[in-house]
Structure formats: C-alpha cells, structure tokens
C-alpha cells in the first residue's frame, strides 16, 4: 500500500504529446529488467539507491523520534507538517531553476545536499530544532523530486515517458520493500545506535544517488525569454484545474495506506496480520504489473480514458473492502484480499493515465516547472487526504467506503472534459499536440 510518488515524465521528441504511442513500433524499454538506454539505466540506479534508504527510514524514523529521542507524537507530526509545507512551496521554483540553469546540474546539487542533511534530524534535541532540520532536508529532497521529473521528461525519448515512469514505480516499490527489511533489523535490535545507523545509511545512499546522477548527460538550460512570465505554469489554468483533480483522485493512495489499516482493526473481524499480507500483495503486484498496465496510456486522450477505467476498479475495490465489515473473520479476509487486488489494478491503470496527462500537456522546454507544479496535487492530497479518509472510511464505516468510490468516479468523469479543454488550449501555452 506504500505508493511512493515519483515525478512524471514525457517523451516529446519523435512523438508529440497527444499523438498515439502505437503509431510506430519501438524497441523494448528493458532487457531482463534493465533499461537498454544508458541514461535511463543511470536514472533507475539512482532511484533504486535513493528509495532503498527511504524504505529503511520509513520503517524506523517514527519510533526513533518518539522512543529514543523522546519527542511526543504531536511534536513529530508538527515537524513533519513543516517539512511538508516546505516541500509544497519549493517544487515549482526548483523546477523553474532546473529549466533555466540546467536540469542535470540542479538534480545533482539537490541530491548532494540531501545526502549532507539526511542524517541531521538525529541531532535535534528540541521540537524547534527537529522542525528546522526536517524542513531544511525537505527543501532539497522535495526540490530533487520535482527536478527529477523534468530530467526524466527529456531523457525518455521516443514517446516512452509513461512507460519509463511505470518502470521506475516498480523499481521504487522493490527498493523500498528491500529497504524496509533493513529497517526491520533495526527494530529487532531496538537500540539507539541501530536506529541512528538507518539515518546514516539513508544519507550514504543519497550520496550514492548523487554520484550516479553525475553520469547523466548535460541537458542544455533554457534561459527565460524577455517578456515571458518566469513561471508560466502558474498562468496555465487548464493544467492547474487538472492538477487539482488528479490530487483529489490520488486520495485513493491514502485510503489504502491509512483507511484500510484502521478499518480492518476497528470494523472487521479479520486478523491484524492481514495488514502485512495486503501490504506485501500491493507491493508485489505493482512490481510485477505496473509497466504492463501502463501501456494503454501513451497520449493525453488515452490517459484520461485510463483514469476513468481506473476509477471503476477503485470503486469496486472499495465496495469489497466495505463488505468485509459485515462478514466473519475468514470471509472478511477474503473480501479484503479481493478488494485490495481490484484496487491495485485501478491504482496501476490510474497511475499510467496520470503520468500521460501531466507530461503530455507540458511544454517540452518547461518540463521542470510543470512537473514541479504537478507535484502540488500530491502534496495537497497528503495534507487534506488523511482527515477525509479517516472521516469516511473509519468513522462512517461501510457507507463511507462507497462514498469514497463515488468520489473517485466523479473525479475521473470530470478529468475527461478538463483534459479535452487543456488539449485545445495547448497552442496558447507553447505545445503542439493532437488528441490521439
């Protein structure tokens, strides 16, 4: 259920954003699971290193701050909120900086500073220090995520943006899963030095990611043209509306990360071990099938259609999860597994559609700021999603799951005409495209 969000990416060289990705046969993206293109191999290796450390840290950081460092859960939550706010504010400026100063140079710099700061939260002794250190770390970590989307958009040539994003998502799930196993070892040791070592490991792997990224080719910057707005994406109303709708749609990640855990514990008779079963199931499915289920999202039009199809799977999965609250332990477990399987299909199909929309509607020379802006939808979802999910899926219960499914379908239905509106306005924003 951990769905690490990786930034979107477009291939706008041999295929324009809206043209059909299937017009000409292309060589395979990978061979034996390894990208054939050397630049994409570098990006994959860098992502693996970075996400491995994140997976290990995700498993242990909350317990370190509360049990070892002595902070209260509320103090940790406040520090995380500050970090989230910083991440929200820096994404678009960081993407613009990459567009105008050189994407590779900026992504390497952000990775290097992330490595320097990754372990510093263990030095915090007061809540203010913790908030400041985590905010400083978020400044560079979030900037790096935003900038990386623009780099991917320029390097995944030949209409392969969505396909490579799907591949990276599979890599992310595998690497974070392996990292969480390492974090689990620290939990078994349950000593301060073991927890601190995970922070150090994350810092070292961020450094490895930065060094690997140095091997990427130089991508020429695009200086701001006189009279042109510095952040043109802020004037792109159709793209902004679409970003908001996608952010609402992505609440389904929170539903399965938080909603199903609390619903299982409070509303069903299923054993709590099913939480781990569902987590492993989701991770394995994404690793095995994300690339395959993203093939139908090569254009903007196909992306919108994929999100509509995905919403139906999501609604069906939520209905099955809701059913678990009315059944005995065995049947409830079966319903939870079935609901999770149906949900993860919608998750993967919807991810492909989301990437197609976010990349295909962005001007090629402004991919940095556009992909940074697209990340705002995810950030807003992380801020507002949890309370909405808890209200509907936990407090309301079975009916709330059905309401959440209806929200998914309604949002996807709105995305279809908005994406059509965005396509018709692309000439105004410097993109030549077709509906496909």
Across residues 79-94, what is the average pLDDT?
82
- The residues near 134 (Cβ < 8 Å, ≥ 6 apart) are 79, 80, 82, 83, 121
Helix (H) or strand (E) segment spanning residue 31: strand 30-31
Query: 258 and 192, same structural domain?
Result: no
Distance in angstroms (rounded) separating the CA atoms of residues 358 and 243: 8
Q: How confident is the model at residue 196 (pLDDT cuts 50, 70, 90)?
A: very high
Last residue of a domain, one of 184, 199, 227: 227
Which of 84, 83, 181, 94 shows the shortest CA–CA distance to 124?
A: 83
Phi-psi map region of 70: left, alpha, beta (phi>0 left; psi -120 to 50 alpha): left
Indicate if the pLDDT at residue 117 is higher than 50.
yes
Query: 219 and 239, same structural domain?
Result: no
Whether residue 307 is contained in a domain is answered as yes
Indicate if the pLDDT at residue 113 is higher than 80.
yes
Phi/psi of residue 34, each to 5°?
Answer: -115, 130
Whether residue 165 is contained in a domain is answered as yes
Query: 243 and 164, same structural domain?
Result: no
Indicate if the pLDDT at residue 22 is higher than 80.
no
Query: 194 and 153, same structural domain?
Result: yes
Return the DSSP state at 232. G
Last residue of a domain, one of 195, 227, 259: 227
Q: How confident is the model at residue 13 (pLDDT cuts 50, 70, 90)?
A: very low
Structure token digits, residue 401: 């799951």
**Looking at residue 137, what is its pLDDT?**
93
Q: What is the pLDDT of residues 365-409, one digit of tens each?
A: 677 677 778 777 877 777 777 788 888 888 888 899 999 999 999
Residues belonging to the chain: 436
Task: Indicate yes or no: pTM above 0.75.
Answer: no
Distance in angstroms (rounded) separating the CA atoms of residues 257 and 92: 27
Which CATH number covers residue 382? 1.20.1250.20
Q: Mean pLDDT lowest for which of 189-193, 213-217, 254-258, 431-435?
A: 431-435
The 3-state DSSP composition of the chain as helix, strand, coil percent (nearest 5) reads: 75, 0, 25
Whether residue 84 is contained in a domain is answered as yes
Alpha helices in 6-102 (DSSP H): 38-63, 73-101
Distance in angstroms (rounded) separating the CA atoms of residues 334 and 329: 9
Neighbours of 123 (CB within 10 A): 11
**Looking at residue 291, what is its pLDDT?**
77
Whether residue 265 is contained in a domain is answered as yes
Q: What is the pLDDT of residues 326-343, one digit of tens each?
A: 999 999 999 999 999 999
Indicate if the pLDDT at residue 97 is higher than 70.
yes
Indicate if the pLDDT at residue 16 is higher than 60.
no
Whether residue 23 is contained in a domain is answered as no
Indicate if the pLDDT at residue 10 is higher than 50.
no
Helix, strand, or coil (residue 128): helix
Query: 308 and 173, same structural domain?
Result: no
Last residue of a domain, one of 166, 194, 227: 227
Helix (H) or strand (E) segment spanning residue 35: strand 34-35
Indicate if the pLDDT at residue 70 is higher than 70.
yes
Across residues 2-23, what is the average pLDDT?
35
Q: How far is CA 284 from the centre of its chain?
A: 17
Q: Output the average pLDDT for the chain.
A: 81
Helix (H) or strand (E) segment spanning residue 30: strand 30-31
Radius of gyration of the chain (CA): 21
Q: How confident is the model at residue 23 (pLDDT cuts 50, 70, 90)?
A: very low
Query: 279 and 195, same structural domain?
Result: no
Indicate if the pLDDT at residue 27 is higher than 80.
no
Structure token digits, residue 148: 């990386």
Share of the chain above pLDDT 70, in %: 87
**Residue with token string 């295909």:** 360
- The residues near 218 (Cβ < 8 Å, ≥ 6 apart) are 102, 104, 105
Query: 323 and 339, same structural domain?
Result: yes
Query: 284 and 209, same structural domain?
Result: no
Burial class, 57, CB count within 10 angstroms (exposed 0-12 / middle 13-18 / buried 19+)? buried
Distance in angstroms (rounded) separating the CA atoms of residues 394 and 255: 10
Query: 107 and 199, same structural domain?
Result: yes
Alpha helices in 156-273 (DSSP H): 161-189, 192-213, 237-249, 251-254, 260-267
Whether residue 364 is contained in a domain is answered as yes
Indicate if the pLDDT at residue 324 is higher than 70.
yes
Distance in angstroms (rounded) separating the CA atoms of residues 412 and 249: 7
Q: What is the pLDDT of residues 275-318, one digit of tens each?
A: 778 877 887 888 788 878 877 667 888 889 999 999 999 999 99
Which of 276, 235, 224, 260 shows the shortest CA–CA distance to 373?
A: 235
Q: What is the pLDDT of residues 140-168, one digit of tens each?
A: 998 888 788 778 877 776 667 777 878 88
Q: How confident is the model at residue 128 (pLDDT cuts 50, 70, 90)?
A: very high
Neighbours of 73 (CB within 10 A): 10
Q: Contact 307/419 with Cβ under 8 angstroms?
A: no
Q: Which is it for the CA torsion 238, 227, 371, 133, positive or negative?
A: negative
Query: 304 and 209, same structural domain?
Result: no
Instruction: Point out which residues pair with 31 in neighbouring strands.
Output: 34
Burial class, 70, CB count within 10 angstroms (exposed 0-12 / middle 13-18 / buried 19+)? exposed
Distance in angstroms (rounded) separating the CA atoms of residues 21 and 34: 21
Buried b (16+ CB within 10 A) or exposed e, 154-179: bbbbbbbbbbbbbbbbbbbbbbbbeb
Query: 318 and 189, same structural domain?
Result: no
Query: 112 and 258, same structural domain?
Result: no
Neighbours of 44 (CB within 10 A): 23
Domain count, the chain: 2
Which of 350, 303, 349 shows the shortest CA–CA distance to 20?
A: 303
Whether residue 435 is contained in a domain is answered as no
**Looking at residue 266, what is its pLDDT?**
83
Whether residue 434 is contained in a domain is answered as no
For residue 310, what are the domain limits?
234-427
């Amino acid at each position: 259920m951990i769905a690490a969000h990786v930034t979107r990416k477009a291939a706008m060289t041999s295929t324009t954003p809206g043209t059909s990705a299937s017009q000409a046969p292309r060589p395979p993206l990978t061979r034996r699971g390894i990208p054939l293109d050397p630049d994409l191999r570098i990006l994959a290796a860098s992502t693996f290193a970075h996400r491995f450390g994140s997976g290990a840290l995700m498993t242990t950081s909350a317990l370190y701050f509360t049990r070892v460092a002595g902070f209260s859960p509320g103090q940790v939550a406040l520090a995380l909120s500050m970090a989230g706010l910083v991440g929200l504010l820096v994404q678009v400026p960081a993407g613009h900086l990459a567009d105008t100063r050189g994407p590779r140079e900026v992504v390497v710099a952000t990775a290097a500073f992330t490595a320097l700061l990754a372990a510093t939260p263990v030095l915090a002794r007061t809540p203010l220090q913790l908030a400041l250190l985590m905010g400083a770390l978020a400044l560079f970590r979030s900037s790096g995520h935003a900038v990386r989307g623009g780099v991917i958009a320029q390097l995944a040539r030949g209409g392969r943006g969505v396909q490579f994003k799907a591949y990276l998502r599979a890599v992310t799930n595998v690497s974070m899963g392996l990292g969480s196993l390492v974090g689990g070892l620290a939990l078994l040791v349950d000593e301060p030095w073991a927890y601190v070592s995970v922070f150090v490991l994350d810092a070292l792997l961020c450094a490895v990611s930065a060094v690997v990224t140095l091997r990427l080719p130089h991508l020429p910057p695009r200086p701001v043209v006189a009279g042109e707005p510095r952040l043109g994406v802020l004037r792109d109303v159709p793209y902004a509306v679409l970003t908001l709708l996608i952010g609402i749609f992505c609440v389904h990640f929170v539903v399965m990360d938080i909603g199903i855990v609390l619903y299982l514990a409070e509303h069903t008779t299923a054993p709590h071990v099913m939480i781990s079963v569902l987590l492993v199931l989701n991770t394995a499915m994404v690793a095995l099938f994300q690339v395959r289920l993203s093939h139908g999202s090569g254009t903007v039009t196909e992306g919108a259609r994929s999100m509509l199809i995905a919403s139906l799977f999501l609604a069906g999965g939520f209905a099955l999860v809701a059913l678990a609250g009315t059944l005995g332990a065995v049947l409830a477990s079966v319903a939870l597994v079935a609901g999770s399987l149906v949900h993860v299909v919608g998750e993967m199909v919807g991810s492909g559609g989301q990437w197609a929309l976010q990349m295909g509607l962005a001007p090629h020379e402004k991919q940095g700021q556009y992909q940074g802006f697209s990340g705002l939808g995810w950030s807003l979802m992380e801020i507002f999603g949890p309370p909405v999910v808890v209200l509907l899926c936990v407090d309301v219960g079975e009916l709330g799951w059905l309401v959440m499914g209806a929200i998914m379908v309604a949002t996807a239905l709105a995305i279809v005409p908005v994406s059509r509106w965005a396509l018709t306005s692309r000439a105004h924003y410097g993109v030549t495209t077709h509906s496909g």
